[in-house]
């Protein structure tokens, strides 16, 4: 039978059209439900059991990455330096993803005990990491702000404005963090990315070695017993130096001084990714 444009649709034709529309609607609903189900299962598959206090994963995988921040409080930071460092620290914090671990340390003597972090917590994730279908973005964001962001911000403020110390065992502090945290086999064996941020004027000052005296080359320092006592394994650790310049040490600071520390870190297998000269004197 040829198609007749003048012919009115029969009851059977109308039923066929309705069936086809119903099938199309059901197919669309199925696709949407499948998509929601897949997203739900994916999110729950990615969700991992975490410690209620640190928000760090408790499974064998461990954190997704580790960032250790070492702050040298031997001398005070002026207001310009405090503002610049705080802004850069906040940038580090803002770019952390869920399950990324951050630990904050202060340069301190290690003769009697190794350094302990003054802050150690994994990012619990942001509200943008979920949606209304499978979670509560508002509550997740509130948890991040209240239990992670605010305590870390308060710590930054406290550390940057705290009193100064009598000695500056920077090398010993780096060694302590390396052997207790960054060299941990649970991170090394799983090839978890590790980063160390050193915020310091790098003016090592202890009774056995001081850079307030004329600076010798690293090649000369490498042969000393002191170096053998403070060295550690920094292999595959990405290191940033946030270099503080001070009025009373400008004559001893500069590129030659930074190069000494580059060589110091490289000789232990570490890699200095960047050196940031903090504004202000």
Q: pLDDT per residue over 237-273, tens digit each?
A: 999 999 999 999 999 999 999 999 999 999 999 989 9
Q: What is the mean pLDDT of the chain?
A: 86
Same domain, 244 and 201: yes
Strand 271-277 and strand 237-243: pairing?
Answer: parallel
Question: Which residues, 6 or more positions from 45, have their beta carbon under 8 angstroms from its beta carbon?
Answer: none
Same domain, 119 and 223: yes
Same domain, 41 and 153: no
> What pLDDT, on the 0 to 100 scale, is given for residue 38?
43
pLDDT classification of 39: cutoffs 50, 70, 90: very low
As for how many domains the chain has, the answer is 2
Same domain, 133 and 31: no
Q: Where are the beta strands (DSSP E) in 123-213?
A: 194-200
Same domain, 114 and 149: yes
The count of other CB atoms within 10 Å of the CB of residue 45 is 8
Q: pLDDT per residue over 225-241, tens digit each?
A: 999 999 999 999 999 99
What percentage of the chain exceeds 90 in pLDDT?
65
Same domain, 134 and 251: yes
> CA 140, CA 228: separation in Å to the nearest integer?
47
Same domain, 109 and 243: yes
Q: What is the mean pLDDT of residues 61-69?
A: 94
Same domain, 151 and 22: no
Q: pLDDT per residue over 184-234, tens digit each?
A: 788 888 899 999 999 999 999 999 999 999 999 999 999 999 999 999 999
Q: Which domain holds residue 238?
A: 65-277
Q: What is the mean pLDDT of residues 86-106?
A: 95
Residue 54, in any domain of the structure: no
Query: Does the pLDDT at position 1 exceed 60?
Result: no
Q: pLDDT per residue over 125-144, tens digit each?
A: 988 776 655 568 888 899 99
Same domain, 145 and 96: yes
Residue 52, in any domain of the structure: no
């Amino acid at each position: 039978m040829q198609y007749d444009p003048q012919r009115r649709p029969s009851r059977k034709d109308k039923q066929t059209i309705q069936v086809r529309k119903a099938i199309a609607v059901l197919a669309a609903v199925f696709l949407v439900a499948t998509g929601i189900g897949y997203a739900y299962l994916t999110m729950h598959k990615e969700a991992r059991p975490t410690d209620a206090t640190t928000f760090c994963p408790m499974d064998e995988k461990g954190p997704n990455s580790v960032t250790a921040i070492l702050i040298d409080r031997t001398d005070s930071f002026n207001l310009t330096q405090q503002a610049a460092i705080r802004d850069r620290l906040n940038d580090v914090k803002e770019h952390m993803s869920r399950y990324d671990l951050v630990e904050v340390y202060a340069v301190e003597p290690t003769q009697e005990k190794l350094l302990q972090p003054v802050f150690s917590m994994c990012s619990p994730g942001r509200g943008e990491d979920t949606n209304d279908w499978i979670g509560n973005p508002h509550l997740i964001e509130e948890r991040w702000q209240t239990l992670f962001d605010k305590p870390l911000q308060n710590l930054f403020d406290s550390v940057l404005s705290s009193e100064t110390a009598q000695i500056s065992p920077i090398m010993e502090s780096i060694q302590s963090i390396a052997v207790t945290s960054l060299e941990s086999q649970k991170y090394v064996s799983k090839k978890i990315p590790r980063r160390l941020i050193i915020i310091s004027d790098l003016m090592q000052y202890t009774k056995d070695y001081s850079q307030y005296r004329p600076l010798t080359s690293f090649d000369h320092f490498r042969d000393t017993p002191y170096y053998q006592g403070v060295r550690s394994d920094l292999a595959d650790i990405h290191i940033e130096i946030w270099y503080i310049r001070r009025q009373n040490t400008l004559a001893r600071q500069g590129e030659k001084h930074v190069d000494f520390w580059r060589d110091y870190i490289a000789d232990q297998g570490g890699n200095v990714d960047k050196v940031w000269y903090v504004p202000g004197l």
